[in-house]
Amino acid sequence: MTRLPTRYYNYTKKTNKSQVFLEKTETFGFAVGAGKPAGKNTPIPDFPFVTEDHMGTITMPQPVKAVIGVLTVEPSLLSTVYTELTQRLGPIDFTSELLPFTSTTYYQTEMGPDIQRQFISFEKLIDGGTLPELKLFTNKVEQAFAVRTATGDARRVNLDVGYICLAKLVLASTKDHAHRIYLSDGIYAEITLRFHRKTFQPWEWSYPDYRLPTYIAIFNQIRKIYRSQLEDENISKKNTTD
């Protein structure tokens, strides 16, 4: 196989009056020894080039674990909602206790007071690339259980869908922001938590309730279930954190 030459960049510290800056120069050649070019100041050709061993290898990501954070003022409704969800996502393998949702009053106008939160996860692992489809699906489930009011439809359940992998918790959103990436079909992705030093940890943009130790403990537990599934299914954990 023909080996193509590589572009190398050298940086030299320069001083101009009171300013210090780096001057970049280019050399061109083949790697020898410890990766240095054979010969310096070789002219740069006028054609695109790259060496095969510098190209990234495309690999398929690990499957991920779907999770949903549920808000409601009608806990008795949840069994019916979960039946609807499992028709698409399969059996639920984790259900948290009901937790009081007091971090914001944002949803009270629509849903009423005494909102409660519950987290669920699903046994069947999924392709993380299907997150937009899952968000559209959970939006339809929300709408199916909504009630008509004088000011429009009011949700009786709010479903925050996302997924957990070994490195992070990702949530789907219909709203753009500086820390969100557009996926497709009007759906954005947010890395809400990262797994660092043996536990999930928040970012500066993480929702207040997702910073709570109670929530963190729940996500750590779901991650343990997920990790066991990867081990049982002998799925490689390359490029993931511990």
What CATH number labels 64-232? 3.30.70.260
pLDDT (tens digit, 0 to 9) for every residue of the chain, 242 residues total? 555 555 555 556 566 655 555 565 555 555 444 444 445 454 444 434 444 456 778 888 899 999 999 999 999 999 999 999 999 999 999 999 999 998 888 888 899 999 999 999 999 999 999 999 999 999 999 999 999 877 778 899 999 999 999 999 999 999 999 999 999 999 999 999 999 999 999 999 888 889 999 999 999 999 999 999 999 877 654 434 44
Q: Please list, in sequence order, all residues whose beta carbon lies within 8 angstroms of the beta carbon of residue 206, skipping any fewer than 6 positions away.
A: 192, 193
Q: Token pair of 67, please? A: 């999770």
- SS3 category, 86: helix
Distances (CA, A) of 122 to 73, 89, 95, 162, 164: 23, 7, 9, 11, 11
CA–centroid distance for 172 within its chain: 8
Distances (CA, A) of 52 to 2, 44, 238: 10, 18, 22
Phi, psi angle pair for 220, to nearest 5°:
-60, -40
User: Which residue intervals of the chain are DSSP H helices?
Assistant: 78-89, 108-111, 131-144, 213-232
Domain boundaries, the chain: 6-54, 64-232
Q: Are 147 and 112 in contact (CB under 8 A)?
A: no
